[in-house]
Amino acid sequence: MGLSGTLRTAVIGASGYAGAELLRLLALHPVLDVVYATGDSQVGALASSLYPSLAKAYPSLVFAEFDPAEALQCDVVFLCLPHEASLELVPQLVDKVRLVVDLSAAYRLRDATQYPTWYGFTHDQPAMLLRAIYGLPELYRDQLVGASLIATPGCYVTAASLALTPLVQAGLIEKSGVIVDAASGVSGAGRVPKPNTHFNTVNEDFTAYGLLDHRHTPEIEQVTGAQVLFTPHLAPMNRGILATCYARPAGNTKPTTQSLLAVLAKFYRQEPFVVVRPASPSTKATLGSNAAHITARFDERTGIAMAICAIDNLTKGASGGAIQAANVALGIPETTGLSTVGMYP
């Protein structure tokens, strides 16, 4: 550790939404001390000019240009970069700093041959893929302890996996023909404006995209062990994800709403950030928090099981989840710097 029991922390790509959310959360973290923040498109700008919400916590923080020597002076490095940029930087950092936490998809998929199909680039580091630990503590906590490289899950994947995995592992639902319909706030598309995320496009609209080929599909299948038809939707809200998942009961099982809820409640009974309730989850209930709210139903009429999960896509679905996983890897109490309470109304 650095001085006063803190760890020198870098946020590379801090000018994007995930980077800004990391800065917000790390401002209250007693161990992870941000000493270096880069933002190549905003080099030389005050963080508080781009994000006035950070003015009190970071009054003099200036987005720097990336310098490997500066990053190597840190204990913990968070990467909030495009996938291929992370792919280039990770080998320069792993084993030279204590922990690298990558928020891109560069190290999420275990099979390197999937990257050309789903991400459009060739992954040339199969050995590093095997070293990367998937950063979802609820499912991979034991593997995260002492990790040197963490692959932070996709935001949609976090919600869908938390809803489905306990039911798959309990043998309650079929592993084929699972349907995931999920809606995300516009912040999931990033800070850089695009025609399809312009206010006049998104406002008062609700649309599906990535039909049949969204890149989070193989990641959801990898985590849950189920074959999934995944359809994402863009909702006219800033933050949040609501994932509604449908599956057939497995074999001769005869689930009920109560049995599905009981399995979920038992699976997550000691999890600090997961709430299982009969009530239908709300994205606003999770706003700004690292909490995941989950429920389930069984429809006797159609014979379909349904599980629903709500999260904040920037917190539990990205930066908060990254800090949670980093806490586990570093031996810091898992809830440090993170809230279970959403902002409401």
Q: Is 210 helix (H, G, I), strand (E, B) or coil?
A: coil
pLDDT-derived band at 232 (thresholds 50, 70, 90) equals: very high
Average pLDDT on 259-286 reads 98
What is residue 327's predicted lDDT score, i.e. its pLDDT? 98
Taking residues 250-256, report their average pLDDT.
93
Q: What is the average per-residue pLDDT within 16-41?
A: 96
Residue 108 pLDDT: 97
**Main-chain phi, psi angles of 50, to 5 degrees:** -75, -40
CATH architecture of 155-313: 2-Layer Sandwich (3.30)
The dihedral built from the CA positions of residue 306, 307, 312 and 318, taken in this order, carries a sign that is: negative
pLDDT 10s digits, 166-198: 999 999 999 999 999 999 999 888 888 788 888
What proportion of the chain, given as a percentage, has pLDDT over 70?
99
How big is the chain by its Cα radius of gyration, in Å? 20
Instruction: Identify the residue whose tokens are 């009429």.
Output: 301
Phi, psi (5° rounding) for residue 311? -145, 165
Q: How far apart are CA 2 and CA 8, in angstroms?
A: 6
Q: What is the pLDDT of residues 75-124, one digit of tens each?
A: 999 999 999 999 999 999 999 999 999 999 999 999 999 999 999 999 99
Under the banding of pLDDT at 50, 70 and 90, the label for residue 1 is: very low
Helix (H, G, I), strand (E, B) or coil at 276: strand
CATH number of 3-131: 3.40.50.720
Q: DSSP 3-state assignment of 132?
A: coil
pTM: 0.96
Residues taking part in catalysis: 155
Mean pLDDT of all residues in 275-297: 98
CA distances for 230 relative to 14, 155, 176, 212, 219, angstroms: 30, 13, 12, 7, 11
For the chain, which residues make up each domain, given as ranges? 3-131, 155-313
**Which one, of 161, 82, 95, lies nearest residue 127 by Cα?**
95
Which has the closest alpha carbon to 223: 179, 163, 295, 292?
163
